[in-house]
A = this chain, B = another copy of it.
Amino acid sequence: MLETNPSHTVDAVLGALDQALGNGDIDQVMRLFCEDCYWRDLVTFTWNISTAEGHGQVRAMLDTQLGHVAPGSWRQDDAEMAMHDAGITSGWFHFETAVARGYGHIRLRDGKIWTLLTTMEELKGHEEPRGFRRPRGADHGSDPARKTWKERREAELADLGRTEQPYIVIIGGGQGGIALGARLRQLGVPTIIIEKNERAGDSWRKRYKSLCLHDPVWYDHLPYLPFPENWPVFAPKDKIGDWLEMYTKVMELNYWSSTTCTSARWDEAAKAWTIVVERDGHEIELNPKHLVLATGVSGKANVPAFEGREIFKGQQQHSSEHAGPDGWRGKKVVVVGSNNSAHDICAALWEGGADVTMLQRSSTMIVRSDTFMEIGLKDLYSEQAVASGMTTAKADLIFASLPYRLLHEFQTPVYDKIREVDADFYGQLESVGFMLDFGEDDSGLLMKYLRRGSGYYIDVGASDLIIQGKIKLVSGVGVQRLTERTVVLDDGRELEADLIVYATGYESMTGWAAELISHEVADKVGRCWGLGSATTKDPGPWEGELRNMWKPTRQEGLWFHGGNLHQSRHYSKYLALQLKARMEGVPSPVYGMPPVHHRS
């Protein structure tokens, strides 16, 4: 169908949608949608992060929610151009509900809605004080009772958590907790962030010394304060640490460092939490209405319990404890694992003069960093994208507009191209025995990340060392046991070792729920992360969204926040709005709380 004016087409569909929804005529609404449609909603319709797939699910959602939501004022965003490409017409729009202003994206196929993204921008009456609404700062006029900003801030830091209870406690002061904390502060929600380390940013500083971000800068901005244009593409860990530290300060976060949470109990009568933290040698009880666990997808170390661990005479470290190659020159190091941390650590050890062996038990998805940036990310998150007018907000929304169910279809051609472009590289890796995969359905890195949070390496140099044999590779076997001085493999071979590094990843965040709250609550809530794709480490059934992330869970008052810097930035917005709504008593009827299929 020849599309002469995508803008008019989008206008027409939005107008029809507006009318049908306004009439409450769900049949009329459904006639606007393809059979194989997707409606992804971030809060506005469902008070959830959810994707309705197909007519049945969309209809069911509207049957329940439409009356509450009272959507209206659907209109194209005239600051954006509607597009038509490969049979798909797409555009951007504003809309409203009874309590919020929204923004969204629409894709049409043959004039009908194929994908619809509706997101909450702000709550009416609770808009963030920025731009035209930014605070004045100096209170003009005269006021004998005036307190300076410094006095007010000091009073807040003294009182909050002592004489005044926060509405929210966030456990975990890494980029997730920090991004969410910044959003909540702008929304005026009293929040305390609990961080075990001494300084904001330490969760990065304390990692192995060669660590740099693996995602490029345009992907990584925090809310409100993007990295400047002279920030490196891949920030070294200490630079990120310093940025996070200053961010907590200038964003005026109530950040309790050197503070550990020892327990959290839900008080059903009070509808609040009883949280005990240790700070400066004292126990402090906090009673927020909501608890957010932002302990990190790379938070709780997973260490395999190999037979012989206690008798091994060398050192053993999880990757999160490994400081770097200093002191290991000339020594024998075995690194168990073959994903990101394993590669980084092996490369640094080789550079530091160690004799290093990588032990690869199962296959790893490898993509070269430059190729990944060029082919995988360039359209949305790159200098070129910025130069062509792409903003972080828009990139995030384009990303969010692709339903998870379809995402692998978009990704597979990307990785087909990557395999082609780097065919020699992959061939060389395989020729030395490295076990490669491209995701179970060849859908690549992003899908692996979303499905299981692991199983890949963005190559910044280690793969060449493996190809050249500088990092020794033993693949296709696992560890049977340890002896005093060796690692014994399943096939009987022995590797001498002075140091064993377990680059064996991390546990689900629900592990923290079990530890801090209780096993019952953890079981009630179920596993975090994954899509239910029925692939390795991500059993079905299909969830359609990341389990438990940024949305209501089966435990009242308990939420999970986290992910990579992009997700921490983008989804902190929707989680903060959900929490603000609850604080303000804005009606927020949740639709589509998924059943718990997996406990952990």
Q: Which residues of B contact A461 (CB under 8 A)?
A: 140-142
Is the beta-carbon distance between A130 and B229 smaller than 8 angstroms? yes
Asked if residues B229 and A351 are in contact (CB atoms below 8 Å), the reply is no
Q: How large is the interface on A (under 10, 10 to 19, 20 to 34, 35 or more residues)?
A: 35 or more
Q: Which residue of B lies closest to A129 (CB)?
A: B230
What B residues does A347 contact at CB under 8 A? 142
A230-279 contacts to B, CB under 8 A, are 230-239, 242-243, 245-246, 249-250
Q: A39 near B: Cβ within 8 Å?
A: no
Knowing A134-B230, A186-B230 are in contact, say whether A146-B351 is a contact too (CB < 8 A).
yes
Q: How far is the CB of A508 from chain B (nearest CB, A)?
A: 28
Question: Is A64 on the interface with B (CB-CB < 8 A)?
Answer: no
- Does A138 lie within 8 Å of B230, measured CB to CB? no
Q: Which residue of B lies closest to A344 (CB)?
A: B138
Q: Does A138 lie within 8 Å of B236, measured CB to CB?
A: yes
Q: How far is the CA of A131 from the CA of B217 in the complex (A)?
A: 11
- Residues of B contacting A282 in the complex (Cβ-Cβ under 8 angstroms): none
Q: Compute how far the CA of A153 lies from the CA of B149 in the bound complex, rounded to whole angstroms.
A: 34
A125 touches B (CB below 8 Å): no
Q: Which of A138, A148, A245, A347 has the most CB of B within 10 A?
A: A138
Binding stretch for chain B, among A96-104, A207-215, A306-314: A207-215
Q: Contact check: which of B143, B209, B387 meets A150 at CB < 8 Å?
A: B209
A170-185 vs B, Cβ < 8 Å mask (1 yes, 0 no): 0000000000000000
Contact B232 A150 (CB under 8 A): no
> Within 8 Å of chain B (Cβ to Cβ): is A137?
yes
User: Which of A131-162 touch B at CB < 8 Å?
Assistant: 131-132, 134-138, 140-144, 146, 148-151, 153
Pick the contact of A230: B128, B153, B238, B239 (CB < 8 A): B128
Can you report 14 residue pairs joining A to B where beta carbons are below 8 Å apart? A130-B229, A134-B230, A134-B231, A134-B232, A135-B230, A137-B233, A137-B234, A137-B236, A141-B464, A144-B353, A146-B210, A150-B236, A224-B228, A239-B250
